[in-house]
């Protein structure tokens, strides 16, 4: 069988065949978490955007299995200025600290918030 044309396109040929037939092979994309195949990159992207099994940090390009895991990432990452209590993002650490001082019982020294039940929570 000879091949010609663009990559991924095969034109079968034989000595007895005068009309060429074209067969196109597609690269499929597999979602390991959902065990599903997608015909192209955009279909897979749409799947991750719409699925409740994918929680993506667009800044870090990391896909988390749950909303809780994504929020934990926001809380722990120095790249994100995130208020866990309000589920709110800030442009910089200064804006976050200003918000924390104004809205929460915030200890800047320990980077912690006093919870409503007297407990201490990490921010």
Alpha-carbon span 54 to 34, nearest angstrom: 9
Nearest to 63 by CA among 44, 79, 86: 44
All residues at 6 or more sequence positions from 104 whose CB lies less than 8 Å from its CB, including other chains: 83, 85, 113, 114
* pTM of the predicted protein model: 0.61
Kindly list the distances between the CA atom of residue 5 and the CA atoms of 18, 20, 23, in Å, as whole numbers in the listed order: 17, 12, 11
Which pLDDT does position 32 carry in this prediction? Answer: 93
User: 82-118: per-residue pLDDT in tens?
Assistant: 998 899 999 999 999 899 888 888 887 877 777 644 4
Domain ranges of the chain: 1-39, 54-122
User: 3-40: per-residue pLDDT in tens?
Assistant: 444 344 444 444 444 454 565 566 899 999 999 999 99
Which pLDDT does position 63 carry in this prediction? Answer: 94
User: 41-83: per-residue pLDDT in tens?
Assistant: 999 999 999 999 999 999 999 999 999 999 999 999 989 999 9
Query: Dihedral of the CA atoms 110, 114, 119, 123 (nearest 10)?
Result: -60
Checking if the pLDDT of 1 tops 60, the result is: no
Alpha-carbon span 36 to 85, nearest angstrom: 35
Evaluate whether 29 touches 41 at the Cβ level (below 8 Å). Answer: yes
């Amino acid at each position: 069988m000879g091949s010609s044309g663009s990559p991924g396109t095969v034109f079968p040929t034989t000595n007895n065949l005068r009309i060429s037939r074209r067969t196109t092979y597609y690269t499929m994309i597999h979602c390991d978490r959902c065990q599903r195949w997608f015909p192209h990159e955009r279909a897979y992207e749409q799947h991750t955007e719409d699925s409740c099994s994918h929680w993506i940090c667009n800044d870090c390009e990391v896909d988390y299995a749950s909303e809780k895991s994504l929020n934990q990432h926001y809380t722990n990452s120095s790249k994100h200025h995130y208020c866990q209590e309000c589920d709110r993002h800030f442009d910089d650490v200064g804006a976050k600290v200003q918000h924390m001082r104004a809205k929460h019982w915030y200890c800047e020294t320990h980077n912690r918030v006093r919870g409503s039940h007297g407990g201490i929570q990490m921010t």
